[in-house]
A and B are shown apart, each in its own frame.
Chain A
């Protein structure tokens, strides 16, 4: 519960003239559920992609559990215990729901140079995968084709895959995007069940969910952190109110 799990220092990324993240510094304590909010185009997804190694940072450093992971390739960051989900669902569409999770279990298990035994009969992959599906409430869809299940179920699958890599920390990019109220409710329950067990950086637009779940909240606008604090502090912050009312800030 104690100590800094993820420490971001002066992280920067620009696309052409647009500063997607601009000098972002942020500490996330171990075990905390940290919400990252901000208007569309604020750079939230870009930040998560930089943290997960899928986008190289222009400048800055990322320290995870005391280890500099700024320049590590994405797969090594994942193996170091930092997992992410995608805002735009990213799964293996032509495999079963269970296959999807089993692939993540296999990645974490670390033995993929096995050429002979059928992976679909491998209990060391299938049983843990089934448990992760149960955890997100998707066990009854295990044998469905991933492309055939509903949008909400695919979002749950994203979470199950992230969990299956047994990470210490989760980066969740709008897990409730496009969900109906009932599905969001289930997703909030999943988050609740994860709090304390995993450190979580949660990007979310649904303010009710954010204020219900978050220990701390950071607000990103035009790539910059304009406020960071407890839900009560953020609620009272004048800059945040202004940003959400759409007033201009300086370009970078």
Chain B
């Protein structure tokens, strides 16, 4: 294989990316096929998988590429879903005129805008800390949103709220499960491409450099804080978008969506799949969904094997499953 030494990236995964393309093609074709062959249940499973993968891809931007272990990303999923549920609630039952709406663009704008703003404010604080402190404080902010939502009786408090009407867009109906799946799938592909461009850009190099060696970054003249904050905001906004899709998929919102255990699941997906691998979160999401479906049938303690698997992968599989696969298929040097 001949490569240009000027542009070569010896750290890049090679064989694994081809496998990932196969995965993406499968995700495009298999679920609709199952749907038409009379297995609508499977379409639901795949829709959830794709939304989780999307959220995990957004987390991967900060966790994988930026080395920022955010333990509060479920908050963005929740904010995005409530950005659908709350305007619909008010459009149906009155009140809060300024946001009451069935219009999908309003929901979308709220989901992304509120998430980005929340990421900006909390990130500005969290990113002044490092290591375990960062993990704890992101989790604390996540729990803050959780308890704030629990305390609001209007939206059902603990019990949550059913979304009566899905986001309305001209020309397409998200009530059609295939249309919804197509939207989620195309969103995943678009966000993957976006993250691919970002992480390969000048900005992305700064983000990777900040993870690898912050002292060196300062010594060559780069203040990592601002770049990390921008990455945090992009990640939060994308995860909020995933929440918007999730709200439209489940048509039900509850604080439980943003519980810290949900944040843990997203971390699990990213780390097990392979942090800083573009397609790692997809692998992670697939393994997660399979384990959840299989294990929750056997035991209510199905989170336990998750934890063990995660510890195993952190200790023995650098780069998670993607990294392991890359080695098995013989990444050539």
Residue among B7, B203, B221, B227 making CB contact with A121, cutoff 8 Å = B7
Chain B positions 184-240 with a Cβ under 8 Å from a chain A Cβ: 197-198, 200-206, 208-209, 212-213, 215-223, 227, 230
Chain A positions 81-112 with a Cβ under 8 Å from a chain B Cβ: 83-84, 86, 90-96, 98-99, 102-104, 106-108, 111-112
The answer to whether B221 and A93 touch across the interface, beta carbons within 8 angstroms, is: no
Question: Chain B residues near A96 (CB, 8 Å)?
Answer: 8-11
Question: Closest CB of chain B to A201's CB: distance in Å?
Answer: 15
Residue among B10, B198, B223 making CB contact with A73, cutoff 8 Å = B223
Question: Chain B residues near A120 (CB, 8 Å)?
Answer: 7-9, 200
Number of A-B contacts (CB under 8 A): 130
CB of A177 within 8 Å of the partner chain = no
CB of B3 within 8 Å of the partner chain = yes
Q: What are the 3 tightest A-B residue pairs by CB atom distance, in nearest-first order?
A: A78-B221, A143-B5, A74-B218
The answer to whether A74 and B219 touch across the interface, beta carbons within 8 angstroms, is: yes
Residue among B3, B6, B204, B220 making CB contact with A161, cutoff 8 Å = B220
Question: Chain B residues near A95 (CB, 8 Å)?
Answer: 9, 11, 208-209, 212
Closest to A110 in B: B221
A138 to B206, CA, bound (A): 23
A53 to B223, CA, bound (A): 12
Question: Chain B residues near A52 (CB, 8 Å)?
Answer: 219
Binding site for B on A (CB under 8 A): 52-54, 73-76, 78-79, 83-84, 86, 90-96, 98-99, 102-104, 106-108, 111-122, 125-127, 130, 142-145, 148, 161, 164-165
The answer to whether A119 and B204 touch across the interface, beta carbons within 8 angstroms, is: yes
Give the interface size class of chain B: 20 to 34
The answer to whether A91 and B7 touch across the interface, beta carbons within 8 angstroms, is: no
A244 to B3, CA, bound (A): 52
Chain B positions 1-54 with a Cβ under 8 Å from a chain A Cβ: 3, 5-11
Interface SS of chain A? mixed
Extra contacts besides A73-B223, A112-B205, A113-B203 (11): CB < 8 Å: A78-B221, A86-B219, A90-B215, A99-B9, A103-B209, A114-B203, A115-B203, A116-B197, A116-B198, A126-B7, A161-B216
Question: Chain B residues near A53 (CB, 8 Å)?
Answer: 218
Question: Chain B residues near A127 (CB, 8 Å)?
Answer: 6
Question: Chain B residues near A73 (CB, 8 Å)?
Answer: 218, 223
Question: Chain B residues near A125 (CB, 8 Å)?
Answer: 202
Q: Knowing A95-B11, A143-B10, A145-B10 touch, does A103 contact B218 (C-beta < 8 A)? A: no
Question: Chain B residues near A112 (CB, 8 Å)?
Answer: 202-203, 205-206, 222, 227
